[in-house]
Every structure is written in structure tokens, then in C-alpha cells.
Chain A
Amino acid sequence: MTQTAQAARTAFQDDVVALLTRQHGDIRNLFDEVERATGQDRRTALRQLVRLLAVHETAEQEVVHPFARRLFEGADEVVRERLAEEEGAKETLARLDGMDPGSPEFLPTLRALRADVMHHARAEERYEFREIRRYAEPGALAPLAQAVRAAEAMAPTRPHPGVQGAPANLLTGPVAALMDRTRDAVRKAMGREG
């Protein structure tokens, strides 16, 4: 591997902004999967989507938004707008979670949520992440990535089929409980108590 490729790789993998941006892509991939699947496959994909969304948003609320608030001027307003978007999406998500994936209102709700989530993700990337990259001290973003990874472990996008234990059990829990556990895991990774 060349030095440049090594540098590119490091820049891509160890930075909280790069990680969350890629998670935005993972979320969109899961939306596609839910939309294209049918029957039991759609249920499975939907569970994964709901979990990843819950975990991703929790990690952002616990790690990224507070960091942004301390970092740059105007961050309070930016974060407030992002939280309002997240709140709206969370309601639709809860509705979707309780819905029969075969029912006629399922796909329209899913598509509406997809549009909202994508709008939210782009706004984050443009108005929050960009400022974080601009103002954060070099080296400050890598430890934050660790906390996000701790959250990510609660919702593997491709769970190993044979996996047993806590992560596997979580696949069937309610969204609120999952968010609580994610919050705990993130706080632990950041060295704070819940």
C-alpha cells in the first residue's frame, strides 16, 4: 500500500464525521432493501433499519451534537433544527415500526420517512459536520469515532447469522429500550456514567 493510500484510508476510517457520513449511506441502503423485499425478508430488513436509525440518532445526540455545541458559534441553532428534524422522523419511525409491512399504507409511510431522513442527513453533513471538520482540533475527532462505534455495535448492519448473546437478543427489543442501551454504551465509551 502506498503512503497516500494509507493516509486516505486513515482519514476515511478514524474520523467521526466520515463514519457518520458512511452510516447515512448504510441507512439509505437499508431503506432500499426494505422497499425491495417482501414478506419475512421485508420484516427482517425493517428491523435492521429501525435499529440502525435508532442507534445512529442516539449516537449523534449523545456524541456529535454536544460536541458541535461547544465548538462553533451558531451551533445551538443548527443543532436545534437538527433535533426538530430527528423528532419528526422518530414519530414516523415509531409509526412504521408498529405497522404491518404488507399493509397499503406501509410503503407511502416508508417513502415519506426516507425523504425526511435523507433531508436531515444532508443538512447535518452540510451545516453541522462541515463546521466540525473546520473547527475541531486535529485528533479530537478520532476518540468520538470510538463512541459512535460502540453505538454501532448495538445495530450491526449485517448481523452474523450465528451470533448469540446480548446483541442478538437486542434484535427484537422495542426501539425505546434499544435507545437507552445505546445511550449507556456510548456514555461508557466516552468515560461518562449514565
Chain B
Amino acid sequence: MTFNPLEHRGIPLDRQLRDWRELAVEPVDPDRGDPYTRCRIITMNGIEIEAMLFSHHFARHCPDLDVKRTLARVRYIEAQQQKAVNWLLPGASSVLETTISYEQVAVDLTAWIARMEPDPYLTQAYQFGVLEDFDHLYRYANLYEMIEHRKAEEIVDQLTEVMPGRPTPLHHRDPVDNVREPYDRRGANPLSKLHALTVMAAEQQTMNFYLNVGPTYMEPIARQLYQEIGMIEEEHVTHYESLIDPGETWWEQLVHHEYNECYLYHSFIEQESDARVRAIWELHLNMELEHLRLACDLMRRHDGRDPAEVLAPELPNVLTFEPNKQYLRELIATQLDLTTLGTGYVREAHERFERMQQALNSDGMPPSDQVLDAHREMFGREYRLQTEGEHPVPALREN
């Protein structure tokens, strides 16, 4: 189905404000909901938070009071959208349960985008990153069983496998090597721009979530694991944000943000299994169409360009949450030993990488390994969920 958001009118901005009753959304069931409904909620929360933060930064660089006021009006509505979306998460879930859903998002969102990305350099960036999120899921799942005696399969269902990816201790690279080359805004496929924005926003929210909730745990091992993985999310945000062409003007970036929100709400309407949640996606799409129209007006007025020049003529194929098990298994089999060097990728542990590893991991075991060690002591095994057979790498099979 083709859908061009530039051709649709949404809800006028002055009719978008919601009162407290409308914002008091009923949360989804923590145990019996569709795992991918939770993933869509977490994704859209990250997207809305990026929208707010981007708009704040824009405002700080903007001398024109009228533009600042328009940004403030739209941003207030976006802040309400973020509340309506994120408050769909149930209070009865523990922080670790939400964390495991965050990692399921990171795995299945990034894997799907890697599969669909037309540019090979960008594809490689997503393939590289997803193998790390995949391993984080496995470490958190082991912590979860230790603390709460629950298995992560009750959260991810059988949709996402839980087993080793690229070992977490090896994710700590020299920051210099986390910076990638950007796409070229003039030649890039419009879909590539949406992909980069989406993954960056999701990882940024994951980073913010871990850095805030990590210290709410009392168990030392939990506190330390959140610290370690929180530092890797910092690397991931650096990695993904550097893919975006910094030559895009503020106006152009604003248009991309609003267009991407339309694309994602439109995508999630198509897939949503929970009718109540789908109604929120529909409402928000109709709000975003108006935000996009306003952003396009600003671009025309202040940038002197037609937004149609930088946007796709119609929305690409809907972004889909679905299992990516075979794709991930192929990546695990072929790309586990990669690290980054400069803006590229290599297989050998080069000097700068070794120096960073030495600085962080030399004095005692990293928390991500301690958690497995403690789990083995407690249960006599690791926690894994391998629905498609043995681990693709023989050395990483459990004896």
C-alpha cells in the first residue's frame, strides 16, 4: 500500500492537546501481551524522545522567536505523545523485564533494518551493532533468572533467540574507532536516512534508560552490569549518529524527524495486534501529519528549498517487527570476530583496541562475565533460548 504523508492532512495543531484523562492510558498486560507490541511501544518512546531532544537543541540554536514558538508548540504535543506511548508499559514489570524488552527491540529492529538497508556501508554498521545487542540480551537474561527466577522466554516468547553474540567484554573499543563515515545527503536513498535516524533514536533511549535505572538496583552485580552495558550504549550512539550526514540543515533534519515519525506510526498501525494500542498509533499518525506539514513550511520559508527534494515520493515498505533468527545466525557465524579500526572493520585485535581492553578489563573480570559465572554457580548451567538448534559457533556451545 502506498502512502505519501505529504498528501494527507492531519489534526490541526490547536486541537492536539490532551487533558490528563486522555493521557491516563491503560497499560498493556505485563505477562500476556504480544512481545512485539512492547517492542513497538519502546521504539516509539525512543522516537518521541529523540523528537523532543532534537527540537530542544534546535531551539537553542535558533534566534527567531516565532520559529522557537512553533517548535515549542509542536514539542509540547510531542512530549504528550511520549507520555501516552511510554505509559503503556505496565508498572508491574520489573526494570529488568523492561530491559530485556529493550534488548529485544535492539536485536529485531536493527536486524530488520540491516536486511532492508540498500547501502552496503550502512548495512555493515547495523550488522556490526546488532551482534552486540544480541549478546547483551543474553547477559541480562542470565541476570534476570538469578534475581527473579524467571526465564527471559516469558518476555521475548519464542520470537528472539537468547544465546551468545559477540562477547560483551570485547565491545569496549577506543572511542576514536566508534566514529563512522556519514552517508552523503545528496546521493543517499531516502530510506537510508530513515533507518539511521530510527536506530540512533532507539539506541539513544536505551543508553538513557540504562544510565538512569542501573543504580536503582541493590545487587552489586546488577549495578555493575548496567554500568558496563550502559558504556557500550554510549559507543553505539556514537557509532549510529555518525552515519547521519552533518551537512543536513536544521530545517532538513526537522523534516526528516517528522517524516520518520509518520513512517513508523504508519508501519505499526499495519502490524499492531492490540486494538487499543493501534488506536494510539492511529491518533499519533494523524498528529504527525500536521507536525510534518509545519516542518515542511519552515523548511520552505527558511531554507528556501522544497522538502520533496530530500524526501521519498512515498513511504517505503513498512518497518516490521518479526523474527530474524536465521539472519542473525548467519551473522554470528561470519562476523563475530570483527572490531572497528578507524571508520572501517577488521578481524585482528589491533593495538588501539588492545590498549582499551587492557585499561578496562585487566583488573578482574568484567561484570558481563561475572554474571555468567555467578549464574553457572547458582544453576549449574547458563540461561539460553536456542529454538533453532545448536549455537552456530562450535566454541560457544554449552557443554
Q: Interface of A with B (CB < 8 Å)?
A: 1-2, 4-9, 11-13, 18, 21-26, 28-29, 32, 111, 114-115, 118-119, 122, 125, 130, 133
Contacts and interface: CB of A to CB of B under 8 A. Distances in A.
Given A5-B373, A24-B148, A25-B148, 15 more contacts: A1-B373, A1-B377, A2-B365, A4-B365, A8-B370, A9-B377, A9-B378, A21-B147, A22-B148, A25-B150, A28-B150, A28-B154, A119-B92, A130-B218, A133-B218
The residue among B31, B218, B373, B374 with the most chain A CB atoms within 10 A of its own CB is B374
Contacts of B150: 25, 28-29
A contact face: mostly helix, strand, loop, or mixed: helix
A37 B379 CA distance: 25
A147 B30 CA distance: 31
The residue among B150, B154, B364 with the most chain A CB atoms within 10 A of its own CB is B150
B373 A11 contact: no
Given A4-B365, A13-B378, A130-B218, A23 B149 contact: yes
B369 to A, nearest CB: 9
B146 interface: yes
B338 interface: no
Interface in B267-291: none
A22 B147 contact: yes
B219 interface: yes
B118 interface: no
For chain B, which range describes its interface: under 10, 10 to 19, 20 to 34, or 35 or more residues? 20 to 34
A9 B147 CA distance: 11
A98 B385 CA distance: 37
Contact of B30 (A2, A7, A12, A118): A118
A11 B148 contact: no
A2 B32 CA distance: 39
Contacts of B31: 28, 32, 114, 118
Interface string B74-88: 000000000000000
**CB-based closest 5 A-B pairs:** A25-B149, A8-B374, A5-B373, A22-B149, A25-B148
Given A2-B373, A32-B154, A8 B220 contact: yes
Interface in B346-389: 364-365, 370-371, 373-374, 377-378
A6 B91 CA distance: 33
Contact of B92 (A2, A6, A118): A118
Contacts of B318: none
A55 to B, nearest CB: 15
A7 B365 CA distance: 13
Nearest to B30: A118
B221 interface: yes
B257 to A, nearest CB: 35
